[in-house]
Amino acid sequence: MGVPRPEYPRPQFMREEWLCLNGDWEFEIDHGDTGLERGLVGRPLEGRIIVPFCPESELSGIGRTDFMNAVWYRREVVVPADWAGRRVLLHFQAVDYDTTVWIDGVEMTRHRGGFTPFTCDLGDVGGRTLSVVVRARDDHRDPKPLGKQAQRFKNYGCHYTRTTGIWQTVWMEPVPVRAHLLRSRITPDLAGGRFFLTQPIAGDRAGLALRVTLRNGDGPLYATELPANQDLTPVVDLPVPQESARLWSPDDPFLYRLDIELAEDGDVLDRAESYAGLRSVTVDGKAVRINGEAIFQRLVLDQGYYPDGILTAPSDAALRRDIELSIAAGFNGARLHQKVFEERFLYHADRLGYLVWGEFPDWGFDARGEAAHVCPSLAHLTQWLEVLHRDVSHPCIVGWCPLNETGQPITDRIAPLDDLTRGLFLATKAMDPTRPALDASGYSHRIAEIDVWDCHDYTQDPAEFAAHHARLADGEPFVNGPKETPWNIACRGGPFFVSEFGGTWWNPEAAESDESWGYGDRPKTVDEFTARFEALCGVLLDHPGMFGYCYTQLTDVFQEQNGIFFFDRRAKFDLERLRAIQTRPAAIEQADA
């Protein structure tokens, strides 16, 4: 068996030299979280696991779905000898949840958060054999961001099999000792016909130069060089020659290449390759425009679960395949729901012109009791900033959603939820003023200055569904909950979409004894399902006040069996028929014609 998930995990900031550490690791479950006292840092572990798959998954070789409050990993790593004289960075793309890393018995770093990457700087260790030990704590009783992971032994409702420990790629790369490039931030300026590259640099930059070259498929378009210490964080202006300008869009997802170099006396110290899409996302009346065009966002709810890998896709091809299946059914994008997807997914979305709303896995935060509101607030904010830092340069992302379905405060003493909602929204806009952002999807809108408004509506009767949204133009949008409550700020005439609807059950393969559910009365035939799908989509496609929708959902997920596809990605319906239903011109698109 080859190395699992061997592809480069950070495709928008690539270096040539790297070492994938996926594969066979020692592993041990630490039920009482006493492993540190029992000496697990310094001794071999009892079992084996296949990284990057979580121990709950079949692909890990374990498949244990009971609670694991702490797990340990160990591996001997031979660092390439030709990396000597450079610093070695050890990267973890995602570990759930509270992680400590030891190298040769010495603690190197800690990280909290189950969905974002972190890095250990190991120094000059080229040619050495290192003992890497990882402890991941994931006590299910601790309040923390976890998305749809079940807090009971078995799956239930909208809660699914948990993920514990390492679940994305582990890898190494060498960088210069003196100074090296950090993750770039790329901001397109369509009106100005340019990109702005913000390039942080670590280390001593005195006397160094920053070089950036913008390329298309035919070669270099523009190159520039400036002192690396000209600003604390250099911002490079990269104009796109007008005759070479090509926009990124769902119809033509063109990507420019950027070569970034850190040089000293003409010699390159560090080099990274990136890419960018020239496009804009703007709000205009009731429309959300991409490159000035009102494109109705035909989104699907994608929860990113797999039968054999849980949160981890079994292969890179599987990530791309999910997008292709969605497009085949007529969707042009997705709301990436209650999970921070692997960055490779965004890479494929960039290349395929697939529109994406990025989201934080916070679901149920406001329903875990009064005391639970205080502790996770800082964790939410910190981890959401890490998400934005990782993903802000991807052109496929057209909106942000930091919270989902937060309801009214249980008592007037629970101010942290309001504080958190506002803090996450302000953080989103500070990190990225170029895209629209919700304060929370569905239920509670607490912030008057949000860019777009939404609701969730799982009504299955098309006539009732239409009645819910008939008075949007009169300033009476459908809201989740009593209209008079102060936690539901009414839409002020701006863009509006139903960001969850449908969810219609269909699984003729389910036995009577199976747990299997969806929303509303179950259709009796495929034709009945298709007619309901067409009628519900039609209400929103024909609504002049809607800029898009999000249908629940792309695939079945365990017991929630309301997907367009089965959990194993087999099609349930005639995809050409669903595509024809969805791709006819929407009212907001016709208004532009």
Q: Do 270 and 412 sit in the same domain of this protein?
A: no
Q: Do 143 and 263 sit in the same domain of this protein?
A: no
The predicted model gives 41-49 an average pLDDT of 97
Beta bridge partners of 306: 310
Higher pLDDT residue, 369 or 591?
A: 591
Is 13 inside any structural domain? no
What burial letters (b/e) apply to 514-540, b meaning 16+ CB within 10 Å?
Answer: eebbbbeebbeeeeebbebbbbbbbbb
Query: How far is residue 550's CA from residue 337's CA, in Å, rounded to a whole number?
Result: 11
Element (H, E) at 254: none
Contact 357, 334 (CB under 8 A): yes
Q: Hey, how many other C-beta atoms are within 10 angstroms of the C-beta on 308? A: 15
- Classify 317 as helix, strand or coil: helix
Element (H, E) at 389: helix 376-391
Residue 25 one-letter amino acid = W
Is 95 inside any structural domain? yes
Contact 385, 342 (CB under 8 A): no
Q: Do 191 and 169 sit in the same domain of this protein?
A: no
**So what's the pLDDT on residue 373?**
44
Check whether 362 has a pLDDT greater than 80.
yes
Check whether 342 has a pLDDT greater than 90.
yes
pLDDT tens per residue across span 264-275: 998 999 999 999
**So what's the pLDDT on residue 372?**
44
Q: Do 184 and 161 sit in the same domain of this protein?
A: no
The predicted model gives 551-560 an average pLDDT of 98
The predicted model gives 465-479 an average pLDDT of 91
Match 């990113």 to its residue by tokens: 304
**So what's the pLDDT on residue 407?**
67
**So what's the pLDDT on residue 370?**
42
The predicted model gives 477-493 an average pLDDT of 67
Contact 300, 550 (CB under 8 A): yes
Domain termination site, one of 276, 297, 332: 276
**So what's the pLDDT on residue 474?**
86
**So what's the pLDDT on residue 1?**
65
pLDDT tens per residue across span 458-467: 999 999 999 9
Is 111 inside any structural domain? yes
pLDDT tens per residue across span 417-438: 778 888 999 999 999 999 999 9
Q: Do 391 and 263 sit in the same domain of this protein?
A: no
Is 8 inside any structural domain? no
pLDDT band at 53 (very low <50, low <70, confident <90, very high): very high
φ, ψ for residue 349 (rounded to 5)?
Answer: -65, -40
**So what's the pLDDT on residue 475?**
83
The predicted model gives 404-416 an average pLDDT of 62
**% of the chain surpassing 90 pLDDT:** 83
**So what's the pLDDT on residue 514?**
84
pLDDT band at 561 (very low <50, low <70, confident <90, very high): very high
**So what's the pLDDT on residue 480?**
83
pLDDT tens per residue across span 297-330: 999 999 999 999 999 999 999 999 999 999 999 9
Q: Do 38 and 125 sit in the same domain of this protein?
A: yes
What burial letters (b/e) apply to 244-268, b meaning 16+ CB within 10 Å?
Answer: ebebbbbeebbbbebebbbbbeeee
Higher pLDDT residue, 209 or 473?
A: 209
pLDDT tens per residue across span 229-258: 989 999 999 999 999 899 999 999 999 999
Report the relative pairing of strands 235-239 and 179-181 from DSSP bridges. Answer: unpaired
**So what's the pLDDT on residue 134?**
98
Residue 31: which of 143, 162, 140, 173 has the closest Cα?
A: 140
**So what's the pLDDT on residue 371?**
39
**So what's the pLDDT on residue 501?**
98
CATH number of the domain encompassing residue 495: 3.20.20.80
Q: Do 546 and 416 sit in the same domain of this protein?
A: yes
**So what's the pLDDT on residue 415?**
59
**So what's the pLDDT on residue 411?**
46
**So what's the pLDDT on residue 446?**
80
Q: Do 468 and 517 sit in the same domain of this protein?
A: yes
Number of domains in the chain: 3
* Alpha helices by DSSP H, 202-268: none
Query: How far is residue 163's CA from residue 53's CA, in Å, rounded to a whole number?
Result: 9
Is 110 inside any structural domain? yes
Check whether 374 has a pLDDT greater than 50.
no
Domain residues for 124?
19-175
**So what's the pLDDT on residue 83?**
98
Contact 5, 21 (CB under 8 A): no
Q: Do 336 and 265 sit in the same domain of this protein?
A: no
CATH number of the domain encompassing residue 210: 2.60.40.10
pLDDT band at 142 (very low <50, low <70, confident <90, very high): confident
Contact 568, 271 (CB under 8 A): no
The predicted model gives 435-463 an average pLDDT of 91
Domain termination site, one of 175, 198, 214: 175
HEC secondary structure over 30-81: CCCCCCCCCCCCCCCCCEEEEECCCCCCHHHCCCCCCCCCEEEEEEEEECCH
Query: How far is residue 349's CA from residue 355's CA, in Å, rounded to a whole number?
Result: 7
Contact 4, 22 (CB under 8 A): yes
- For all residues of the chain together, what is the average pLDDT? 93
Residue 87: which of 118, 124, 119 has the closest Cα?
A: 124
- Classify 473 as helix, strand or coil: helix
Q: Do 261 and 343 sit in the same domain of this protein?
A: no
Is 399 inside any structural domain? yes
Query: How far is residue 189's CA from residue 437's CA, in Å, rounded to a whole number?
Result: 19
Residue 377 one-letter amino acid = S
Q: Do 356 and 415 sit in the same domain of this protein?
A: yes
pLDDT band at 484 (very low <50, low <70, confident <90, very high): low
Check whether 109 has a pLDDT greater than 50.
yes
φ, ψ for residue 276 (rounded to 5)?
Answer: -155, 155
What secondary structure letter does DSSP report for 375?
A: T
Is 98 inside any structural domain? yes
Domain termination site, one of 276, 306, 321: 276
Is 7 inside any structural domain? no
* Dihedral angle of Cα 30, 34, 36, 40, to the nearest 10 degrees: -40
Q: Do 141 and 77 sit in the same domain of this protein?
A: yes
